[in-house]
Structure formats: structure tokens, C-alpha cells
Structure 1
Amino acid sequence: MDMTRLILALLACCVCFSVSSKDFTRFSTAKKHLIKTLPHNAKSLYCGCDIKKQGKKLVPDPTGCGYVPRNTFTRSGKVNQRALRIEWEHIVSAWEFGHQLKCWQNGGRKNCRKVSEKFRKMEADINNLAPAIGEINADRSNYRFGMLGGAATQYGQCDVKVNFKQRVVEPPFYARKKIADAYAYMQKTYGLKISKQQQKLFNAWQKQDLALKSTIQKM
């Protein structure tokens, strides 16, 4: 990605995530709020695709971002519907914050929703939610974020990489600070525990973002 595209993508990502601090206790309610209040110039997290509203649903516009589905069809031969819609992804995955709670050990996500007020607040916290193309949301799963070698070719011109064997996702440069900030927020607000390796990575991503913004100001 050249400098001009990088700057535009970074600015677009910043606009996309200007959300309120309103508290929710249900994930479904939080999603409805985010759909209703989504800025007209919002972009998807991993690809920077424009987002269009179709009734109550959100869909990505791949024409400007170069997104191409990794799988156009499912294994059963049906159209991969998740590649055609926008979903609200938990940047810190529900598995990652959920398995740190006792409720997760006795029934996983379903049980935590039922018995844990803290989990419900964490799951519905809009500061940890971002619009992402459904296919990439599914591929990310609960994989950790990290750096990977090679070019990003799995999703057309989308600069995200997923290594299914290592269970690692490398997000594009312009999304890294948002991801690092979400982890910092979840740590501060809910006492989320993360590894020293991940903390080091997120600190580096925040510093890279500051360095880029400093460069932009000098241009």
C-alpha cells in the first residue's frame, strides 16, 4: 500500500470508530444501536470497505477496497453469505475474555450470558466491537493477533492475513491502533489479562501509529 492510500485508510478507520460510550447489557441491543448510528462514511475493520445499509442489514461494497472472498461458496456448494454481509466483531474475542470467567468453565458462552452480568456487559461493550466482513470475522475466530510473513493475498487486495495453522491474524496497518486500544480498554475496564508477548506487540502498534501521524503532520 502506498503512502497516500495508507493515510486515507488510516483516516477512514478513525472516522469509522467514533462511537458513543453508552452502556449496554445485551449484545443484540448493542448491535442494533451501532447499525442505527453507523456514520455514512464508515469502513470495515480489516479491508477498509465502504459499508452500505440494506434495510436493517449492513453489506460491504468491495468495489473500492478490492475485497475478494476467500471462499465464494460453502463446502455444500451454497453461496457464502458471510462474505456478503457486515458483522460486528469482538476485537477481543468473546472466547478470550469469556474463558477468564468462572461461568465459561461450566457451559461456555451460553452459560455466561445466562449467569454473568459482567460477561453480558463485556459482550455488549461497543468499545470492543467493530464492523467486519462476515467471512473474515469467521476466519479470525478467536485467533490471537500477531505478525506474519509473506504477502496478503487471501482476500484480494485486502491487507489482512490469517494463518489457520498457527491460529494468528495479522491486521492491516491502519487497523492496528484500534485493536491495541480495544485491548487496553478491556484491560482497564474489566481486568482483562493478556500475555507479555501480546502486550509488547500492542505497545509497538500504538507507537507506530503515533510515528505515522507525526510524519503526516510534517508533510
Structure 2
Amino acid sequence: MTSLIRSLVVLLFTCSYAFADAPASFSAAKAVAKQRIFFDQLAVDQGDLYCGCRWDWVGRSGGRVDARSCGYETRAQQTRAERIEWEHIVPAWVFGHQRQCWQNGGRANCVANDALFRVMEADLFNLYPAVGEVNGDRSNYQYAMVGGAPVQYGACMSKVDFRARSAEPRDEVKGLVARVHFYMYDRYGLTMARQQQQLLMAWDRQYPVTDWEREWSDRTARVMGHENPFVTGAAVWTRGYKPSRAGLMLSNPGTASVATVSDGAIIGNRNSRVYHLPEGCPSYGSVAARNQVHFQTEAAAQAAGFRKAGNCRD
């Protein structure tokens, strides 16, 4: 009975936020992730990203780590070891370095002047709670197989190789971090090194989607307005994969400008629940960036509850 009640609570809570606005900033994203995705005991029971530790929520978006739940032992930073932080699975440093704004002034400049960077920084599919100390140690390192590293965090099986500037997550989330990478690189047209692709493709095959990953992805999709196709099975990353670039947009910094997405993308207006095709729909380019929801097919838009704009020409 308890399990049934919990399931009903989760269903009612998540459905109440169906198709809510995606957060516009990293600060807002952390609060939204807590309130709408990782809000319940089901999420906490899965543990944090790197160590499987449970936590208690504290404040607007923070948490207090239960070290005993996962056998965690502090390596060096006690304060950060005690708190939950939000990890960008694909680091902001990685996608930021592929933007001109970073070359002109680093992350602060990107946040201030690059609308697309703010979208990527706040993308909920790329955010996951993590023990602060491991989050800090991982820094902006790429994922890799870390061999021969000594135990660093007690029973926590994630490893960081500071000399090689690489990190290996615990086995339980290797498939998850691979599919998040595929999503980010696909959606935003990022460039991934061949060696990184090979490793992540191997993890994707070796560690298939779990029930929790599917639930987490579904909850996130309800907020973001689109899915991670590498979790649902709608897309599979292969060698030579050509990114869809569905999340790309061109904006004038500092203005509420209209976004332009890649050819073939269907734009929905989350307020009017109307979608526009790239050809035959006069209002295709007039949907404000903050109100856009992107779909690859009309069927997907209609399944999400959108209808075609009345001024579209067949």
C-alpha cells in the first residue's frame, strides 16, 4: 500500500508540472530540479550521481549528504563532502569552450552575453545531484577508465585521476552519463573526440537504461518540453553520428530575440499550444525563444498536445 501511495503521489506531482517552462538560468534550474524532478523519496533513494549517497534537502536547492548511507569517507574537503551540489555531467567548461563568448571572457561573459550558453547551462537533462567534494574533484575532467587509483572516498567507487585530469564514475551510472553526453552533443551540435565517443558508446551498450533513468528522464521531459531520445530509444549514437542540432538558436545578446533552429525542426509555442512548420507557416520565425518547444515530427507535436497553426498553408 505504501508503494502504491508513493507512486500516486509521484504521478500527481509530476503531471501537475507537465509542459512547464524550462528554466532560464543555472540558478533557476537547480531549484526546478529539486522541486520537480528530485523532489521525493524515490529520487533520494537512488542516491547521488557519483557515490549513491542519500541526502536531505536543505534550502532552495541544496542538500545535506547522509555519508553513512553509502559508506562515504571525506578525502580532503569536509565542508563540500557534507553537502549536495549540482553536477553538469557535460561540464560547462566543455560546452563553453565551443562558444566564442568563452574565448572572449570565460563563463561570466557567456552567462551575460550568450543566450545559447545560458540554455545549455540550465538544461535539466545535464544536471544531477552529487556529493560536493567529488563534484569539485571531478572539476571539468573528461570521463575515462581510471586504472590503479587508490580508494579515495571510502565505499564510493567513483575515481578521479588528478594527474591525468580524468574521472571514472561508478558503474551504476556509466550508461546514464553516456546518454546525457549523447543528448547534449546531439542537441547543441557539439564536437566530441573520437576516443570519448568510443568509451561512451561502450558504456551505453554495457549499461542499458534502468527503470530509474527512464523515470528521471520522463520527469525532466515534462519540464523541458522534449525528451532525451537516447534514453527513449528514438536515437542511437554511432560512430560518425550527425547531430540533429535541434537546440541551436541564434540570438542577439541581451535582448529577448527570436530563436532560429536547424532546418526541419518544428517549433511549438508552449503558451498557445500551437506548432509551426519551417515551410508553409508564416509565424514560424516569430515565436519568442523563451516560449519555444522543438519537435522533430508533427506526430510528436500532436502527441504532446499541440495543434498546427491555423495560418499554415498545406
CA contact (8 A) 1:152 1:158 kept: no
Match of 1:198 in 2: 196
Amino acid of the structure 1 residue aligned with 2:50: Y
CA contact (8 A) 2:74 2:81 kept: yes
CA contact (8 A) 1:152 1:159 kept: no
Give how far 1:20 is off. Answer: 7.6
Match of 2:48 in 1: 44
Q: Does residue 111 in structure 1 map to residue 115 in structure 2?
A: no
Match of 2:134 in 1: 136
Give how far 1:202 is off. Answer: 0.5
CA contact (8 A) 1:180 1:203 kept: yes
Q: Distance in 2 between matches of 1:212 and 1:103?
A: 37
Q: Which has the higher contact order (CA 8 A, sep 6+)?
A: 1
In terms of Rg, which structure is larger?
2
Q: Distance in 2 between matches of 1:179 and 1:100?
A: 20
Give how far 1:157 is off. Answer: 0.4
Secondary structure of the structure 2 residue equivalent to 1:44: coil
CA contact (8 A) 2:56 2:66 kept: yes
Q: Which runs of 5+ in 2 are unaligned?
A: 1-13, 212-314
Amino acid of the structure 1 residue aligned with 2:140: N
Residue by residue, what CA displacement relative to the aligned partner does 1:26-60 show, whole Å, maximum 9, x if unpaired? 00000011122323232100000112123433111
Q: Distance in 2 between matches of 1:209 and 1:20?
A: 29
CA contact (8 A) 1:98 1:119 kept: yes
Q: For residues 206 and 96 of structure 1, do their structure 2 counterparts lie closer, same or farther at Cα, with a shift above 3 Å needed?
A: same
Q: For residues 211 and 127 of structure 1, do their structure 2 counterparts lie closer, same or farther at Cα, with a shift above 3 Å needed?
A: closer
Secondary structure of the structure 2 residue equivalent to 1:24: coil
CA contact (8 A) 1:46 1:172 kept: yes
Give how far 1:160 is off. Answer: 0.6
Match of 1:69 in 2: 74
> Which of residues 79, 85, 88 in structure 2 aligns to 1:87?
85
CA contact (8 A) 1:103 1:116 kept: yes
Residue by residue, what CA displacement relative to the aligned partner does 1:148-178 show, whole Å, maximum 9, x if unpaired? 1126510000001101000010111011111
Q: Displaced runs of 4+ in structure 1, greater than 4 A?
A: 18-22
Q: For residues 212 and 33 of structure 1, do their structure 2 counterparts lie closer, same or farther at Cα, with a shift above 3 Å needed?
A: closer
Residue by residue, what CA displacement relative to the aligned partner does 1:52-92 show, whole Å, maximum 9, x if unpaired? 123433111111211111015xxxxxxx3111100001000
> Alignment identity in percent?
45
CA contact (8 A) 2:149 2:161 kept: no
Q: Distance in 1 between matches of 2:176 and 2:204?
A: 9
Q: Does residue 187 in structure 1 map to residue 185 in structure 2?
A: yes
Secondary structure of the structure 2 residue equivalent to 1:89: strand
Give how far 1:212 is off. Answer: 9.5
Whichever structure has more helix as a proportion of its residues is 1
CA contact (8 A) 2:175 2:208 kept: no
Q: Distance in 2 between matches of 1:122 and 1:24?
A: 10
Q: Distance in 1 between matches of 2:120 and 2:142?
A: 18
TM-score by length of 2: 0.57
Matched length: 189
Amino acid of the structure 1 residue aligned with 2:76: N
Give how far 1:187 is off. Answer: 1.3
TM-score by length of 1: 0.81
Match of 1:34 in 2: 33
Name the Cα RMSD after superposition: 2.1
Amino acid of the structure 2 residue aligned with 1:106: N
Secondary structure of the structure 1 residue equivalent to 2:57: strand
